[in-house]
Amino acid sequence: MTANETIHPTAPAPEIDASCRLPLLALLVGASVWLVVGTVLALIASIKFHAPEFLAACPLLTYGRVVAAANDALVYGFCLPASLAVIIWVFARLSQTVYTLPLVPVVAAHIWHLGVFIGLLSILLGHSTGFTWLEFPRGGSILLFVAFVLIAIPTAASFGFRLEKDLYPSHWFLLAALLWFPWSYASANIFLVAMPVRGVAQGVVNLWFANNLLYVWFSLVGLGIGFYFLPKLTGRPLQTYYYALYVFWTLALFGTWCGLPQGSPFPAWITTLSSVAAVLLIVPLIGVTVVFGRSLGGPGSDGPMGGPLSFVKFGLVSFLLSTLMYIALACPQISRLLEFTWFGVAQSQLQILGFLAMVLFGAIYYILPRALGFDFIAPQFIRAHCFLAGLGVVFWVAPLALAGYAQGANAYSLDASLNWLRISTLGLGFILLGNLLFALNILAMFLTWKLNLVKTLFAAITAPLKVSEVKS
Amino acid sequence: MAASIQLGSVTQTTVLNSSDVYPPQRTGDATLGLQVYRANGCAACHTEQVRQEGVTCAVVLTGAGKNPQAVTNLLATLTLTGLTKEAADAVADQITAAGGKVEIHIVPVGTDIDHGWGVRRSVAEDYLHDYPVQLGSLRAGPDLANIGVRAPDANWQLLHLYAPQSVTGTSRMPSFKYLFTVQKVGATPSPDALNLPAAFAAPAGFEVVPKPEARQLAAYLLSLRANVPVYDAPFTPPAQP
Amino acid sequence: MSADIKSSLPKPPSDPRPEAVRTTLPIWIIVLTLMLLFLGGLYFDNHSGWFQTQVYGPYASVDQLELYQPKSGAAAELARGKVVYEQVCGLCHGADGLGKPGQAPPLAGSEWVMAKGYNRLAHIPLAGLSGNISVAGKDWNMGMAAMGAALPDADLAAVLTYIRTSWGNGASPVPMEDVTKVRAGLGARPQPMSHDMLMTMPE
């Protein structure tokens, strides 16, 4: 059922887009800055492996701190706020309603970016909590939680007040994501920081959260957005509604148990359950493959290479690969070789930079010109970004995975993997260039919008002055 | 969440065949050292968990008995290591029947154990006193679950923190110079000054003295000694002299 | 859609809400899920140790873990006996087993310790001792509490073995089963032993 056929009085698309303008800008401008910061930090961390003495005298930039800050800047600085921005727009469009209370997410976005700033600074100053993906100390994590809830409530409300009652698969994925993050983030912080559990149970909670953020949450958001844009950009319907729904339920059911590796010092039932659940991820993996494959076939227009659709397609292929890697890591025979190597890093980086970030780039390139009502200042950068990001992800992730194999096969000797790591640093360089182009486009767009605003304001103030004030 | 409730009730245990309690409390310095470990993100490159892929039994002769020749001949025909418990029992029965005295040793096996990173797998008890627990997920450097057993010398640890390449030539570990002070040698040289090889030493007239953080971190590393048998991860410890 | 969106953006045919085809899910994917669940269940059954906290891989059950508990060899037994001795007995009898004048008789070279059998010896820590007794040619007249009554049988056997085989005492080791028997024979709250009572017992 399309918007034209519905019997409900719905808002026209430009009006909906305009209602999301302020939240989108507030979230995305900060996110694009953090994206560049995160990639620069990741590049510094990566270079340190070839020259251990590089910036070694500076405690702020020691490897352990930089790498944590880089990961958190990419995930909490870019992926989460950018996801929220896209979710706000997708929900408004799917519901055919103007976004209610646009100022709440604007305030929340500033709280969020302040939280990320405090968190990153704390990590670099040595005040991280010491838990992977939860390094932000209390000052940062509480702000993040409050900001997320502040954005999630009006966004979920816009779902509740929807004029178009018909549900679309993305509704399931994105609504679940809005609930999933506050729940898992709050639980993990309570059990690790506020009232820490004893001993190795901290490791269980930490890994449970890492899996729920990087695998479950990222997949929910990435697939939810991907399933929205795939039919939209190709002009062909999604094949099929129930496959997508089946993917959602199996992902939510099996995904949440994964991520506790075989060798960890946890009782056998925990790691066994986790690897069984990971192998069951084959079901959503098949589901996504079917949806992806069938939705791409048939008549329709795919648009030019390097446009938003290319980003989304790249992202979905990355999801398939990263899930395969995740399943492989959970199989005892394979994990014996690859556990604790760069292979795991490759998987999480593919999930972050190859999957979610790419889907988000595609979505943002589509949304932002519509929300602001004018095009990017340098539209040719989009294609360059697509090319650089694609090349970068391949050259960043594949060598890391191969480095992991070299490491596992050579008694964890770093020397065996060093050449692969050198190539991966190159890949990260490409990614940084691409991300710079992205950030430039977003910032230029933001500045143009600001400038237009000031111009309009200036015109409004100056125009009547000439007429009335001079004579009196 | 069930896991955290269940594991939250893990308590101290006793070392197998002994009345010692495990794990022992850390010293104050070592407890502070864990915070230095956390603050500098050491877990980004080091794990603190040893895996174990299997367990085998080894039959060890402790006395030849009255007919040593027969026992020796019998031993030559038998496999004595890498056995399952059932096979080890059968072999032990055969040797006992021939008059020899044997013990069955429990030997954990696994790639980590082969690397010398531990004698058994890591279990919940090993982390009882830790906050935050630093399991780590990447081994860019070696596992540290029993670094206190492998490198029990505090001075070695300090040298390694100040200039990793001075003690392990090909190390890719960055130097943690900022945990040390380079100061002018006073009227009497500081007793704590590091004894560095010439290539890494401070310029003439200067000495390298560890800050408290460096000493705490070294104390923490020395306290990582997961090397005793416990019920969840049994093995036969080597005979004490 | 606003007109000023330039042609650089890939233009979809229009900008409607995306559609999803609503054909029913084929049965094979549900059958596959159930099959995988079943196989996963079998695997879990074989490897999980059924939620026991103490079972870690590579063990799959408490029984298996129990099977691989090391039996303490003679050396471990002695080491354990030494630890228990130094904690419980050594305070009065001395770490060297030479005893302390006015506190406790020596164990090194004591005829009671080195007797052929260990029945009488085992009664002393389990029940205590009072009154006159001659040890290594000297008369001692003092009391000893039932110091061993609270020790597990394995620890007591280890400590008895330790004192019978250390400091030049060359007597036989004491198996745990015999300590269990002596303890059972004494009942719940035994009277302290005396020289005469001990002499009525088999050696």
Can you give the three-state secondary structure of chain C, one letter per residue?
A: CCCCCCCCCCCCCCCCCCCEECCCCCHHHHHHHHHHHHHHHHHHHHHCCCCCCCCCCCCCCHHHHHHCCCCCCHHHHHHHHHHHHHHHHHHHHCCCCCCECCCECCCCCCCCCCCCCCHHHHHHHHHCECCEEEECCEEEECCECCCCCCCCHHHHHHHHHHHHHCCCCCCCCCCHHHHHHHHHHHCCCCCCECHHHHHHCCC
Cβ–Cβ under 8 Å, residues A439 and A377: no
Which residue did the predictor score with more confidence, A165 or C74?
A165
Mutation test of the interface with chain A: which of C1, C5, C6, C9, choosing the one with the most A Cβ atoms within 10 A? C9
Report chain A's mean pLDDT, rounded to a whole number. 89
Choose among A144, A123, A125: nearest CA to A70: A123
CB contact under 8 A, A266 and B142: no
CB contact under 8 A, C69 and B231: yes
CA A169 – CA A153 distance, rounded (Å): 20
- Tell me if B233 is assigned to some domain: no
CA A384 – CA A407 distance, rounded (Å): 34
Structure confidence at residue C168 as a pLDDT band (50, 70, 90): confident
Query: Which of C54, C71, C84 minimises the CB distance to B104?
Result: C71
- Tell me if B140 is assigned to some domain: yes
Whether residue B33 sits in one domain with residue B152? yes
- Strand B54-63 and strand B101-109: the pairing is antiparallel
Choose among A363, A241, A356: nearest CA to A291: A241
Whether residue B215 sits in one domain with residue B135? yes
Q: Number of C-alpha atoms within 13 angstroms, CB side, residue A104?
A: 18
DSSP-derived secondary structure letter, B24? P
List, in sequence order, every residue forming a beta bridge with A361; answer none if it has no partner. Answer: none
Q: Name chain A contacts of C1, Cβ cutoff 8 Å.
A: 13-14, 370
CA A334 – CA C90 distance, rounded (Å): 54
- C100 token code pair: 């302390």
Condensed to tens digits (0 to 9), the pLDDT of residues B2-11 reads 555 556 556 6
DSSP-derived secondary structure letter, A134? -
Whether residue B65 sits in one domain with residue B174? no
B18 Cβ under 8 Å from any chain C Cβ:
yes
Q: Of A182-186, A249-253, A281-285, C145-149, which gets the smallest average pLDDT?
A: C145-149
CA A381 – CA A204 distance, rounded (Å): 43
Q: Name chain B contacts of C155, Cβ cutoff 8 Å.
A: 19
- Tell me if B240 is assigned to some domain: no
* Domain assignment of residue B218, given as a range: 2-52+113-222
Q: How far is C91 from chain B (nearest CA, A)?
A: 17
Cβ–Cβ under 8 Å, residues C24 and A245: no
Cα A254 to chain centroid, rounded: 21
Whether residue B182 sits in one domain with residue B80? no
Q: Number of C-alpha atoms within 13 angstroms, CB side, residue A172?
A: 19
Write the single-letter amino acid at C39.
Answer: L
Structure confidence at residue A399 as a pLDDT band (50, 70, 90): very high
Q: Write down the pLDDT at residue A57.
A: 82
Cβ partners under 8 Å of residue A261, min gap 6: A207, A271, A274, A329, A330, A335, A339, B137
Q: Name chain C contacts of B106, Cβ cutoff 8 Å.
A: 68-70
Cβ–Cβ under 8 Å, residues A147 and A109: yes
Q: Write down the pLDDT at residue C3.
A: 40
Q: Write down the pLDDT at residue C10.
A: 43
Q: How far is B163 from chain A (nearest CA, A)?
A: 10
| Ranges for all domains in chain C classified under CATH 1.10.760.10 | 74-200
pLDDT beyond 80 at A468: no
Domain covering C74-200, topology: Cytochrome Bc1 Complex; Chain D, domain 2 (1.10.760)
Report chain B's mean pLDDT, rounded to a whole number. 85
Give the max Cα distance, chain C: 118
- Tell me if B238 is assigned to some domain: no
Average pLDDT estimate for B158-172: 88
pLDDT beyond 50 at B136: yes
Whether residue B98 sits in one domain with residue B119? no
Whether residue B91 sits in one domain with residue B128? no
Q: Write down the pLDDT at residue C175.
A: 83
List helix spans (H) across A164-281: 169-189, 201-211, 218-234, 241-255, 268-280
Write the single-letter amino acid at B142.
Answer: P
- A128 token code pair: 């991280």
DSSP-derived secondary structure letter, B180? E
Sign of the alpha-carbon dihedral angle for A309, A313, A318, A320: positive
The model's pTM is 0.83
Average pLDDT estimate for A212-241: 92
Whether residue B173 sits in one domain with residue B136? yes
C27 Cβ under 8 Å from any chain A Cβ:
no
Whether residue B148 sits in one domain with residue B82? no
Structure confidence at residue A467 as a pLDDT band (50, 70, 90): low
Whether residue B48 sits in one domain with residue B75? no
Q: Write down the pLDDT at residue A316.
A: 95
* Residue numbers of A between 247 and 286 with CB closer than 8 Å to C: 250, 262-263, 265-269, 271-273, 276-277, 279-280, 282-283, 286
CA A99 – CA A94 distance, rounded (Å): 11
Average pLDDT estimate for A418-427: 92
CA A442 – CA A82 distance, rounded (Å): 12
Q: How far is C66 from chain B (nearest CA, A)?
A: 8
pLDDT beyond 90 at A197: no
CB contact under 8 A, B142 and A411: no
Write down how long chain C is: 203
Whether residue B64 sits in one domain with residue B38? no
- Tell me if B235 is assigned to some domain: no
CA A236 – CA A234 distance, rounded (Å): 5
CA A457 – CA B2 distance, rounded (Å): 59
Condensed to tens digits (0 to 9), the pLDDT of residues A94-153 reads 888 888 788 999 999 999 999 999 999 999 999 999 999 999 999 899 999 999 999 999
Whether residue B164 sits in one domain with residue B79? no
Q: Write down the pLDDT at residue C1.
A: 38
Helix (H) or strand (E) holding A338, with range, is helix A332-338
Which residue did the predictor score with more confidence, A468 or A450?
A450
Cβ–Cβ under 8 Å, residues B219 and B30: yes
pLDDT beyond 60 at A4: no
Which residue did the predictor score with more confidence, B169 or A360?
A360
Cβ partners under 8 Å of residue A70, min gap 6: A38, A39, A41, A42, A44, A45
Structure confidence at residue C128 as a pLDDT band (50, 70, 90): confident
Condensed to tens digits (0 to 9), the pLDDT of residues A365-392 reads 999 999 998 889 888 999 999 999 999 9
Domain count, chain B: 2
Mutation test of the interface with chain C: which of B15, B17, B96, choosing the one with the most C Cβ atoms within 10 A? B17
CA B112 – CA A335 distance, rounded (Å): 13
CA B50 – CA B139 distance, rounded (Å): 11
* Burial class of residue A133 in the structure, from the number of CB atoms within 10 Å of its CB (0-12 exposed, 13-18 middle, 19+ buried): buried
pLDDT beyond 80 at A18: yes
Cβ–Cβ under 8 Å, residues A87 and A155: yes
CB contact under 8 A, B49 and A265: yes
- A386 token code pair: 């697509």
* Burial class of residue B17 in the structure, from the number of CB atoms within 10 Å of its CB (0-12 exposed, 13-18 middle, 19+ buried): buried
Cβ–Cβ under 8 Å, residues A34 and B154: no
- Tell me if B228 is assigned to some domain: no
CA C132 – CA C112 distance, rounded (Å): 14
Mutation test of the interface with chain B: which of A44, A121, A412, A421, choosing the one with the most B Cβ atoms within 10 A? A412
- Tell me if B88 is assigned to some domain: yes
- Strand A238-239 and strand C20-21: the pairing is parallel
Whether residue B120 sits in one domain with residue B95? no
CB contact under 8 A, C20 and A240: yes
